[in-house]
Amino acid sequence: MSQGAIQDLPPVARSLLLPLCFRAAEARRSDALIHDAKAVEVVQRLGWDCGPLLKHESHDQVTVLMRAREFDRCVREFLAAHPRGVVVDMGCGLDTRFYRVDNGLVTWYDLDLPEVIALRRKVLDESSRHSFIGCSVVDFAWLNTVQPEPGRAYLFLAEGVFMFLEGGQVRCLLQALAEHYPGSEIVFDAFTPLMLHRSTLLHPAARQTLALLRWGLADNREPETWAESIQLLSEWYYFDQPEPRLGVMRLLRWVPGIARGAKILRYRLGEVTPYALHDVEGVIEPTVVL
């Protein structure tokens, strides 16, 4: 495959290569944090050389894999409670989570920019339960594709996505999801503003692609003020985990401002009520499309 297809992607979209390469390399380890044979297959189909990113294992690699493992755990927990649930992976890049957690019943949507989805379709296949949507996450036209259905549970994922958006875009997105998918849940990762500032030059995706980190969340309860029905369900922090491969980084749990500067959060969006089946065009205020 032409390397230009990847190099021509916008900076944020090019960040998809890092987690893919990390997962592919991890698949060859006997002590793998996650097992992702599909990632190896995708790298081979791309013909991409991950070597420059993997000269030696870095703390970036371990934390990205820990993040993927925790997102996987959240999805498996959701599907255990809702086997026929609907999962929307927003800003999916070349993520292969569906192949790791598929229970044979879930309906899954992978959502990303049109140029990313075009690349994705060259290396991954869609199916009756696994569809791709080429649309910016903040262009709410995609809500018309994922129509809410009575009795279906919905889980939205945003792994490594929201820090590249503006705060107003994140707020509007959560409000829209709460309105149109009452009772749904969302899982996303975030930095505190202090950690965001420190990470602008250290974050692996930002450093490799020159993408800008824009949004941080100081108070995990703040999204609860964006809509009456948004509720914080759980908080997860990297340095609270007894992960041996973090090495000396485990000591950061004792450093104020860093110990809980990066996190994975899970919220319930809206009250469980009958779903309204209607076209969202003209209902939601227009937003800036990335």
Q: Which of 142, 80, 140 is nearest to 105 (CA)?
A: 80
Q: For residues 38 and 99, what is the distance between their CA atoms, to the nearest angstrom?
A: 7
pTM, whole model, 2 decimals?
0.87
Q: Is residue 285 part of a domain?
A: no
Strand partners, 107: 86
Residue 247 has a pLDDT of 85
| Residue indicated by tokens 């297809």 | 5
Domain residues for the domain of 141 are: 4-269
Q: Is residue 275 part of a domain?
A: no
Q: Is residue 279 part of a domain?
A: no
| 97 in Cβ contact with 72 (< 8 Å) | yes
Q: Is residue 83 part of a domain?
A: yes
Residue 249 has a pLDDT of 82
Residue 209 has a pLDDT of 47
Q: Is residue 57 part of a domain?
A: yes
Q: Is residue 123 part of a domain?
A: yes
Residue 275 has a pLDDT of 40
115: left (phi over 0), alpha (psi -120 to 50) or beta: alpha
Structure tokens at 85: 């649930």
Residue 210 has a pLDDT of 47
Q: Is residue 280 part of a domain?
A: no
Q: For residues 86 and 79, what is the distance between their CA atoms, to the nearest angstrom?
A: 9
Per-10-residue mean pLDDT of the chain, 290 residues long, equals 58 75 90 94 88 69 94 98 98 96 98 94 96 97 94 96 95 96 97 80 49 89 96 95 85 84 95 47 36
Domain count, the chain: 1
Q: Is residue 247 part of a domain?
A: yes
Q: Please provide residue 204's backbone torsions phi and psi, each rounded to the nearest 5 degrees.
A: -60, -45
Q: Measure Cα distances from 236 to 6, 39, 45, 265 in Å.
A: 32, 25, 34, 6
CATH number at residue 93: 3.40.50.150
Residue 278 has a pLDDT of 39
Residue 17 has a pLDDT of 84
Residue 253 has a pLDDT of 84
Residue 215 has a pLDDT of 94
Question: Sheet holding 184-191: strands in order across?
Answer: 130-134, 107-112, 86-90, 154-158, 184-191, 262-269, 230-237
| 172 in Cβ contact with 143 (< 8 Å) | no
Residue 254 has a pLDDT of 86
